[in-house]
Homo-oligomer: A and B are copies of this chain.
Amino acid sequence: MRLSRYFLPVLKETPKEAEIVSHRLMLRAGMIKQEASGLYAWLPLGYKVLRKVQDIIEQEQNRAGAIELLMPTLQSADLWRESGRYDDYGKEMLRIEDRHGRDLLYGPTNEEMITNIFRSHVKSYKDLPLNLYHIQWKFRDEIRPRFGTMRSREFLMKDAYSFDLDKEAAVKSYHRMFVAYLRTYKRMGLTAIPMRAETGPIGGDLSHEFIVLADTGESGVFCDRDLLEKPIPAADIDYDGDLSEIVDDWTSLYAATEDMIEMDKFEADVPEDRRIAARGIEVGQVFYFGEKYSEPMGAKVLNDEGKEVAVHMGSYGIGLTRVVPAIIEACHDEDGIIWPVSVAPFELGLINLKTSDDASVETCQKLYSELKNAGIDVLYDDRDMGAGGKFATADLIGLPFQMIVGPRGLKNGEVEIKDRKTGERSNVSIDTAVEHIRAIIEPLRLDKI
């Protein structure tokens, strides 16, 4: 993409309304624009990140055997009356009346609707296990939306729902999502730690939150430092096999949010030098809640003895519009964002230092075309402006690498490559520059791990 033809409205001033760094940087980098309280438009740069996050989630959900569909944003209130949650949900539920006076609501979650789809079509244990997921906009009418898309009212969530014949099978489904989540966050460049969590309005008796450590996190967390270094399961893991060993291994090390912490146990289990007490951002949560919805809503199948039984369910959420700022909270410095390659809006910024110099323009055009052919996602800063502004933009929007082209380097047949994270700069011959950067970027995509 040529920057002169792109829509990248970066801001020079730091917006006053933004309290946390990710909100400030998303506004400054032209990623989002607030449309109303808790409602955001995702501008092109931000939307590109959101889609890369979505791609990773879909790949890992599919790998774990979950099947994608899409439910509507609006739901009939009647469904929620069946489960009893219509009255329970309170003012966070956005209630709507249509032209015929029928009660609708903007879905804050989809347990009821997916249970209805399930009970309409599935009648036999032979069709289990089943895990259906979608990625759809949801709404919670928070009394005080804040922190940008970290806590917005309209938000994009991946929610998966598993259906099994009994608790034992349901726990296996839970393990599949647990492992898929470890892989998902890792691929986004995040270190997310599963912690035992309360189940809240979803219900159930088994739940983990996946937490990213960050100073601006909304909750206090306590965990064993060894969790930060734990290797994640590889891409070829057998999701049909027994995953309990992996889950046990992860959950054997102490980790809990402040709601669940037992300080005695934390201190007994974790040697002092491995104790982490920090703040964290919740980027996903998994639940097993058994028959909570299947029983009242009559989601039953015939088991192998021909007896009707309510299915055991779980649900598994990842807030995409929250993951993006969480990545920024974990990956930034004073100059701006530092994207992990796998979710970067562009992998490389190609910077022409002097647009009035014919040789620079010509070299940039050639490199731009070669980089695209090499499969590099490149943003070419071809704007007619000074080098300082170009460097500032590149650092602010946080592209992982910059390839800098100017008359001085060209005299030696070289371009400069800058690593945004380390700040390291190196000169590379023009002829090998594309292959050089490709070899650096490719493993960082983490699409093969």
A residues whose Cβ falls under 8 Å from a Cβ of B:
5-7, 9, 30, 33, 35-37, 39-44, 46-48, 50, 65, 67-76, 91, 94, 96, 98-99, 102, 104, 106, 113, 116-117, 120-122, 130, 132, 134, 137, 139, 141, 143, 153-154
A36 touches B68 (CB 8 A): no
A50 touches B35 (CB 8 A): no
- The CA of A122 and the CA of B6, in the complex, are separated in Å by 12
A297 vs chain B, min Cβ distance (A):
14
Quick one: given A7-B67, A130-B7, are A73 and B41 in contact (CB under 8 Å)? no
A69 touches B94 (CB 8 A): no
- The CA of A352 and the CA of B35, in the complex, are separated in Å by 53
A154 touches B74 (CB 8 A): yes
B99 touches A96 (CB 8 A): no
- The CA of A71 and the CA of B156, in the complex, are separated in Å by 12
A68 touches B96 (CB 8 A): no
Quick one: given A36-B75, A74-B154, are A69 and B44 in contact (CB under 8 Å)? yes
- The CA of A35 and the CA of B134, in the complex, are separated in Å by 15
Known: A33-B117, A35-B76, A41-B117. 9 other contacts (CB 8 A): A33-B120, A35-B72, A36-B75, A36-B104, A39-B75, A47-B70, A72-B154, A74-B139, A96-B96
Could you list 23 A-B pairs, sorted by A, with CB under 8 Å?
A7-B67, A9-B120, A35-B71, A35-B72, A35-B75, A35-B76, A35-B116, A36-B74, A36-B76, A36-B102, A39-B72, A39-B74, A39-B75, A40-B72, A41-B70, A44-B69, A47-B69, A72-B137, A73-B73, A73-B137, A73-B154, A96-B106, A99-B141
- The CA of A50 and the CA of B96, in the complex, are separated in Å by 27
Quick one: given A141-B98, A154-B74, are A69 and B91 in contact (CB under 8 Å)? no
- The CA of A137 and the CA of B98, in the complex, are separated in Å by 17
Residue of B nearest to A130 (CB): B7
A357 vs chain B, min Cβ distance (A):
21
A70 touches B96 (CB 8 A): no
B104 touches A98 (CB 8 A): no
Residue of B nearest to A79 (CB): B35
B70 touches A7 (CB 8 A): no
Contacts of A117 in B (CB 8 A): 33, 41, 43
- The CA of A291 and the CA of B102, in the complex, are separated in Å by 38
A9 touches B141 (CB 8 A): no
Contacts of A106 in B (CB 8 A): 74, 96
- A-B complex: 3 closest residue pairs judged by Cβ atoms: A9-B121, A36-B76, A42-B70
- The CA of A98 and the CA of B99, in the complex, are separated in Å by 17
Residue of B nearest to A1 (CB): B67
Quick one: given A35-B76, A36-B104, A74-B154, are A6 and B67 in contact (CB under 8 Å)? yes
